[in-house]
Structure formats: structure tokens, C-alpha cells
């Protein structure tokens, strides 16, 4: 397996391809792995370009606003937890620091519960997470 000189872009495209093509029994695991990769690998260069769309537009990214139980508190002058970029940063924090759990904890996974130290808490269904991961990958790849 080889990558071209633009590792980040190739990585993002491969995550998108995996999410769109995988048909096996470990789909929730694949989604979480791709989310982790998309939130961590292109961190500095790409995630700052996530739009500052208000949370009311979150549905366009696949996640129902009702999935967000708490936005948490601002962590700095430029941090607004109630915009898309703030949500992405909170998801990044939750995934990077292993602050997520499958729902239910046994049996077939229906959702993931994400949380972080700011007080952020979200329960994201697998179907919503798929759309979000695809949309995030497409957005990051187009940059």
C-alpha cells in the first residue's frame, strides 16, 4: 500500500471510501476508527477550516441537534461550543481522550455517547454518525 505525496488528502479519501464501501459486521467500529482518523490526522491544517455554521444547521452534517445533550462551556476566547467547529473540536477531544461509550454497552451498537471535560455530551446514532463522517471527509478532502 502506498500514498502519494499528499498523505492527509489520500488518508481522508481512503476513510471516505471505507465508510461508503464497507458492508461487514463491524460497521460501528469502522465508523469510530474513521472518525478518529479524520479528527486527529488532519487536525491543524484542516479542522480550523470547519465552518462556523450555527448549530441549527447541524442536521445538514447528519447529526440531529437533539443528539447534543450539553454543549459544554467555552474553553477560550475563540471557542464557541454552539457552532459546527465547536462541536467538531469537542468530538475530537472526546475521541482522542477515550471519552466515548457504545450504546448499549453490550449487544449491537445503536449509538455512541461522547463527552469531554468541558461538559459536552452527545448521543449520536450510528446512522447519523455515518452521514457526519462522510460529510466531514468530503469537506476536508475538498480543502
pTM value > 0.85: yes
d(CA 76, CA 89) in angstroms, rounded, equals 12
Strand order in the sheet with 111-115: 68-71, 120-125, 111-115, 100-103
Q: What is the pLDDT of residue 80?
A: 86
Tell me the pLDDT tens digit for each residue of 15-24.
Answer: 999 999 999 8
Written as nine digits, the cell of 71 is: 454543549
Q: Which residue has the higher pLDDT, 97 or 40?
A: 97
What's the Cα-to-Cα distance from 1 to each of 41, 110, 131, rounded to whole Å?
18, 33, 27
Residue 4 has pLDDT above 60, yes or no: no
Amino acid at each position: 500500500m502506498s500514498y502519494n505525496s499528499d498523505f492527509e488528502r489520500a488518508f481522508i479519501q481512503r476513510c471516505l471510501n471505507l465508510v461508503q464501501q464497507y458492508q461487514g459486521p463491524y460497521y460501528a467500529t469502522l465508523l469510530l476508527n474513521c472518525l478518529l482518523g479524520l479528527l486527529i490526522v488532519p487536525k491543524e491544517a484542516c479542522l480550523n477550516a470547519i465552518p462556523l455554521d450555527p448549530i441549527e444547521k447541524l442536521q445538514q452534517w447528519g447529526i440531529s441537534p437533539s443528539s447534543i445533550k450539553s454543549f459544554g462551556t467555552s474553553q477560550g476566547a475563540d471557542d464557541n461550543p454552539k457552532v459546527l467547529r465547536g462541536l467538531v473540536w469537542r468530538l475530537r477531544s472526546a475521541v482522542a481522550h477515550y471519552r466515548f461509550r457504545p450504546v448499549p454497552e453490550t449487544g449491537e451498537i445503536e449509538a455512541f455517547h461522547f463527552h469531554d471535560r468541558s461538559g459536552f455530551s452527545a448521543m449520536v446514532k450510528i446512522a447519523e454518525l455515518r452521514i457526519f463522517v462522510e460529510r466531514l471527509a468530503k469537506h476536508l478532502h475538498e480543502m
